[in-house]
Amino acid sequence: MNDTKLPKGYEPRDVEAKWLEYWEEQGVFTAPAQAERPAYSMVIPPPNVTGSLHMGHALNLTLQDILCRFHRQQGHDVLWVPGTDHAGIATQNVVEKSLAAQGKSREELGREAFVERVWAWKEEYGGKILNQVRRLGASVDWSRLRFTMDDGLSRAVREVFVRLYDEGLIYKGDYIINWCPRCRTALADLEVEHAQAEGKLHAIRYPLADGSGDLTVMTTRPETMLGDTAVAVHPEDERFSHLVGKEVILPLVGRKLPIIADSYVDREFGTGCLKVTPAHDMNDFELGRRHSLDVIKVIDDQGRMSADAGSEYAGLDRMECRQRIVQDLQDKGFLVRVEDHPHSVGHCYRCRAVIEPSVSKQWFVAVQPLAAKARKAVEDGRTEILPRQWERTYFDWLDNIRDWCISRQIWWGHRIPAWTCQACGEMIVAREDPQSCTKCSGKLVQESDVLDTWFSSALWPFSTLGWPDETPELRSYYPTSVLVTGFDILFFWVARMMMMGLHFREDVPFRHVYIHALVRDSEGQKMSKSKGNVIDPLTMVDQYGTDALRLTLTAMAAMGRDIKLSEERIQGYRFFVNKLWNAARFALINLPPAESATPLPTLPAPADLDVRHRWILTRLEQNKRDVAAAITEYRFNDAAMGLYQFVWHELCDWYLEMIKPDLSAEEDKNRESAQACLHTVLSEVLTLLHPIMPFVTQEIWSCLPGMKEPNLAAAAYPVLRPEHEDEQVLRDMALIQEIVVSVRNIRSELSIGPSLKLTVLVRGAEEAVLRTLETNQDTIIHLARLDNFQVGTELTPPKASASAVVQGLEVFVPLAGAVDFQTELARLEKELAKTAKDLDIVSRKVANEDFMAKAPAEVVEKERAKARDLSEKQSKLLGLRTRLQSLME
């Protein structure tokens, strides 16, 4: 026996801080970019520089870290690139709010001073999210930290822009985009958040120009009718086919509109007639282009009605104009009816203003040629998307892709490298800032817009590796091995990275895309601050430790299935951390001290070990194979739960209990065999657990004797020892365990205390099975707390014996002297009476129709569950009473 260096209780905070500092100081995760080892690389999905860690980040980082730590164990040259995204709109909003609190605005500062202010904010606060990434134990290469606006990435952005422009794939033109009237900028589709709103559906009468009747159209946005340029019907709709080619009069305006036919029109919605407003609806814009319709913009960039809306409405806020239009339509007899109509409304993801689809002069990427390559790469298997069902979603989006609006009307971001000559109108797109017009030497003015944040992040897999230079990192680590991300950015980021990687590197940016699930609350609802159901990962780390949170998320990360998370789950896995810690303390007490001159016993050959050691070593070998296969195949939950089962139920509950006599024995051979096996199992299971639980495993590892590599993060994956696998020993141990469990169950049923030693008789017909039990009787006696254990084919048990059947064997426990039958029967009768009374009360409540109708659903279900539990308990007690009475006869 010796003193352990591990304190009685595991305190995560100090342990985590110590090893984070150690790993960084030692440069453990710095990738050498050397060709002699197989490369494994990932780029972190860059969090917004304004962001803070949420549970989705925690899951994403945990899964990535598992992959990196595991592949280092496999001997790979691993690079995990960290970094942050400049988050144009979000960051600008944060700084603008800060200025507003000081009574200032960005316009007062001017562009240059404002951008300097944002950089200062980034330097002061931008590291917050990175420190939180550190807290999660992410084994990234901090020496290669990148930011989407650092010099290298900015150079890559310009290079890509200029090349695409020169190839005719970037252009400037009028197109329909998402416009935020509050932020006054174009938005990507991803930056628009849709929410259900209670709206109204207005039926409006459009008179036919020839006076022969009218058409009724339905709209949720009557204010946009001022920009109508047609009414459309389905070409196969017999109700209206005779009207195609005629005209209607636009109510309130008097403008004549053509009636056109287009298969886009849904004949079943509303009246089957569609008002077409190309300037203010995405689908109407495309329909208008097909039919060469005029585009009349009646809502300006501030969300107010423009001069084209007419003098009566110009200057009104769009929502105010809606009310005025409805009233005017009613007053003039054009409003047929108004219906309630819940529908989805787009909002700005930052300021929550209602988005306005609007035609605007913007910069676009013509993506169809790029999208075709990105589609084919997945079809050909050069990139695999997992789970597979996301491939169809990916294909659908690429098949229906629209040109990408890449310009934003803000100041923080990569300014578009395009200049216009004030003298001759010449446009220059260049890698370096031009000094004057190349055509007339006139003065140049640079575009005021910046690029969409997603433009720079689309280059992330190769720009972070030094492109456009041909760096050692590019040669070693591109394509990257895997991208781990959420499904919500499959199109907007993943697909665009595929396009850019294939276009500029002529290869996919990653071999695998693993789409992880969404972390929801315990009821399956999406977490949101408004609902008050957010679980803060850093709060959980402070309370339960990083390892407990990581293990929880990993154990629940089944492929394709959302995670229903609760604090109780995390607390439950903290118990596992404690279990591992206590097992390690027990082991260290029973192993030679690390500083001792006494060498560790070597692991004996399988033939020199008894069934207990051969069993645990067999299970260890199976776990080594299973964990490696599970992580390789992204079955993270299988890896976690397999190790949980092995450590808690096999190593701790069974093996440690079985070897206690050996470890305290005076016979050196038995003790040395137990020590060798215990050290082997503990050290290797720490290695298997390390990718999931890096901190507690490293702390225990540092105290183990005989470890050549003090840094577990740099230790190799345990080698396989097939000679220690034995299928027969698994069957033998299963038999032993079932015998012991059957005795324990009898103890529990009959309230026989653990201190009372029992006699057990086992009767069977197969000599080989009985020999196995005889050989291992010492283990059975120790685990079942017996003073006598007998096996045989002709054994006759006493009449008052409890019994069980295990694998065809009859197990008898003589009860004379062990159970006071009369006292036990009296206790059962008392418990039965109480249970019957409780069940009657609950049953009456459940049968009460008034209660069932008025009580909340969760209360009703709680009472029903209580009734089921009491009924089950009553049934078991009755069965036990019958069994006890039979033993007394």
Q: What percent of the chain has pLDDT over 70?
A: 99
Task: Tell me the pLDDT band of 1, cut-offs 50, 70 and 90.
Answer: very low
Mean pLDDT of 279-304: 94
Mean pLDDT of 573-602: 90
Q: Which two tokens stand for residue 334?
A: 């054009």
Task: Tell me the pLDDT band of 488, cut-offs 50, 70 and 90.
Answer: confident
182 vs 138, higher pLDDT: 138
Is pLDDT above 80 for 235? yes
Mean pLDDT of 98-105: 92
Q: Which two tokens stand for residue 701?
A: 């590892």
Mean pLDDT of 661-681: 91
Residue 529 marked ligand-binding: yes
Task: Tell me the pLDDT band of 883, cut-offs 50, 70 and 90.
Answer: confident
Question: What topology is assigned to 31-169+366-409+450-516 in CATH?
Answer: Rossmann fold (3.40.50)
Domain at 544-712, CATH from 1.10.3720.10, 1.10.730.10, 3.40.50.1980, 3.40.50.300 = 1.10.730.10
pLDDT of residue 193: 87
pLDDT of residue 802: 85
* pLDDT, tens digit, 9 for 90 and up, residues 553-584: 999 999 988 999 999 999 999 999 999 999 99
pLDDT of residue 849: 86
Task: Tell me the pLDDT band of 3, cut-offs 50, 70 and 90.
Answer: low
**CB burial of residue 28 (10 Å; 0-12, 13-18, 19+):** middle
CATH code of 822-888, in short, is 1.10.287
The rounded mean pLDDT for the chain is: 93
- Residue 545 DSSP SS3: coil
* pLDDT, tens digit, 9 for 90 and up, residues 793-809: 988 888 888 888 899 89
Task: Tell me the pLDDT band of 660, cut-offs 50, 70 and 90.
Answer: very high
Under 8 Å CB-to-CB from 248, ≥6 apart: which residues?
206, 207, 208, 209, 214, 215, 231, 256, 257, 259
* pLDDT, tens digit, 9 for 90 and up, residues 160-215: 999 999 999 999 998 888 999 988 888 877 678 888 888 899 999 999 999 999 99
Among 715, 717, 713, 693, residue whose Cα is nearest residue 25:
713
* CA–CA dist 867, 149 (Å, integer): 63
Helix axes 368-379, 496-504, angle to 10 degrees: 90
* CA–CA dist 257, 229 (Å, integer): 6
pLDDT of residue 195: 86
pLDDT of residue 751: 86
Give the pairing type, strands 563-564 and 519-520: parallel
pLDDT of residue 627: 98
pTM > 0.95: no
* CA–CA dist 762, 777 (Å, integer): 11
* CA–CA dist 460, 712 (Å, integer): 31
Q: Which CATH class is domain 185-357?
A: alpha beta
Q: What percent of the chain has pLDDT over 90?
A: 76
pLDDT of residue 66: 98
* pLDDT, tens digit, 9 for 90 and up, residues 841-875: 999 988 888 888 888 888 888 899 999 989 988 88
